[in-house]
Amino acid sequence: MILTAAGTVLAQTPLAQQGVVGTGETVVFWILGPLALLGALGMVFARSAVHSALWLVLTMLSLGVLYMAQNAQFLGFTQIIVYTGAIMMLFLFVLMLVGRDASDSVVEVLRGQRLVAGVLGVALAVLLTAGLARSLEGVVPAAPLDPWAPGGGAAGGLGQVIFTDYLFPFELTSALLITASLGAMVLAYGGKGRKPRMSQRETVRARFRGEYARPSPLPGPGVYATANSVATPALLPDGSVAEDSLSEILDNTPVERLRPDREAVSGEVESPDPHALTGHSPQRSGSEESSEQRERGGEHSSGENPGSARGGDGDDHGGNGSVPTVDGDVPENPGADSPEEVRQ
């Protein structure tokens, strides 16, 4: 309030009425100008949101007094009442509702800041008192200003200028304010209708309380050598098919090529030969081999045996290294060109 009164008094001095910068106005400018700049820098670089808002309040107060010193009383009071008294206080209320760290109020970040603030406050009061005392010398009452004159700084002249020469910027400002109001409403009420996301511990507790259909998660799909597909169901420890391992979308989709894979997994069709990939036949037992040899021996005794009929030839051609086998087949001879030459 002291700064506001000082600006109002300085605006009524004869030099201010004549458009000449006086000593008091100069002193006020060199005091409030650095304060406004300091408040702007503090607002930008402050770590706490509350401190940033307070620095902005200092800047707005300085600007309001400077408006009054420039013979613009309406703008000065509007700057102080509307912006500083209403908007910035609203910002502070929002910050108080949102909350801040309780340690900010008990921990002094800058040591000795109270002493420095007291010294600067006393110095500012002395400068303002000296400036006012010097500017009030020889003050005479001035004629009242025309409220409809644009240069008078009154509300009538300011409104006339805004709605004639600056109508488009004024409408842009109103659109900006409406957008800010809608954004505030979205931020305030946007997250209330959403269900909070449960943590992993809360989900496990809810499962065991019976809030879900089963206490454990669904089993994953099975991938086997016979069907490399996520549409293949998994198997339970007892060998049965886990019906919950497949998605409902896959179960409800009539895909014909998935049926053979499911039948193979469930055991409804014969499984393939396990030795099909290696190419080796399974080892037979001794009883199977002896029975097969007896069957082959009966065939040799009943029918002609080319190996026995040509036994002499085999002896004559013993130099070729061909030895007839039991079943009459001639084994491979490295020295012969073909099996026909071995038989001759």
pLDDT in tens, 32-53: 888 899 998 988 888 887 888 8
Residue 12 has pLDDT above 60, yes or no: no
Residue 2 lies in a domain: yes
Do 18 and 60 sit in the same domain of this protein? yes
Residue 69 burial (CB < 10 Å; 0-12/13-18/19+)? buried
Residue at 148: amino acid letter: W
Same domain, 50 and 122: yes
pLDDT in the model for residue 8 = 52
Looking at residue 164, what is its pLDDT?
A: 86
Q: Are residues 125 and 154 in the same domain?
A: no
Please identify which residue in the block is written with the tokens 């070729």.
Answer: 320
Considering the domain architecture, whether residues 167 and 38 belong to the same structural domain is answered as no
pLDDT above 90 as % of the chain: 2
Between 88-97, 118-127, 172-181, 269-278, the lowest mean confidence (pLDDT) is in 269-278
Which pTM value belongs to this model?
Answer: 0.38
**Structural domain contains residue 229:** yes
Same domain, 165 and 237: no
What pLDDT, on the 0 to 100 scale, is given for residue 134? 77
Per the model's pLDDT, the better-predicted residue between 299 and 138 turns out to be 138
Of the listed ranges 1-15, 87-101, 128-142, the one predicted with least confidence: 1-15
| 16 and 77 belong to one structural domain | yes
The confidence score (pLDDT) of residue 259 equals 66
pLDDT for res 306: 46
pLDDT band at 310; cut points 50, 70, 90: very low
Q: First CA to last CA across the chain, in angstroms?
A: 134
Say what the pLDDT of residue 65 is: 87
> Could you give the number of structural domains in the chain?
3
Q: Are residues 46 and 164 in the same domain?
A: no
Flag whether 212 is in a domain: no
- Whole-angstrom Cα distance, residue 67 to residue 31? 14
Residues 28 and 131 in one domain: yes
Q: How many residues does the chain have?
A: 344
Which of 75, 71, 77 has its CA nearest to residue 151? 71
C-alpha span between 274 and 260 (Å, rounded): 18
212-230 b/e with 16+ CB inside 10 Å = b?
eeeeeeeeebbeeeebeee
Residue 69 lies in a domain: yes
**Has residue 136 been placed in a domain?**
yes
Note whether 5 and 137 are same-domain residues.
yes
pLDDT of residue 100: 57
Residue 77 reports pLDDT greater than 50: yes
Residue 18 has pLDDT above 60, yes or no: no
Over residues 207-227, the mean pLDDT reads: 69
Q: Give the domain-ending residue among 266, 288, 305.
A: 266
The verdict on 134 and 253 lying in the same domain is no
**Domain membership flag for residue 262:** yes
Tens digit of each residue's pLDDT (9 = 90 or more) over 48-60: 878 888 888 899 8
Q: Which residue has the higher pLDDT, 201 or 316?
A: 201
pLDDT of residue 342: 40
Q: To 10 degrees, the CA torsion angle through 18, 19, 22, 28? A: 130
Query: Mean of the pLDDT values across residues 77-95?
Result: 81
Average pLDDT, whole number, for the chain? 69
DSSP tag of 1: -
Query: Is 43 inside a domain boundary?
Result: yes
In this structure, are 21 and 135 located in the same domain?
yes
With 0-12 CB in 10 A as exposed, 13-18 as middle and 19+ as buried, what is 17?
Answer: middle
Q: Is the pLDDT of residue 338 over 50?
A: no
Do residue 85 and residue 154 come from a single domain?
no
pLDDT at 255 over 60: no
Query: Which domain, by its residues, includes 18?
Result: 1-98+118-143
Mean pLDDT along residues 215-238: 67
Partners of 235 in the β-ladder:
241
Query: Which is more confidently placed, 264 or 316?
Result: 264
The DSSP-derived string for 265-325 is HHTSSPPPPTTTTT-PPPPPPHHHHHHHHHHHHHHHHHS--HHHHTHHHHHHGGGGT----
Q: Is residue 53 part of a domain?
A: yes
Residue 85: pLDDT above 60? yes
Q: Where residue 308 falls among pLDDT bands split at 50, 70, 90?
A: very low
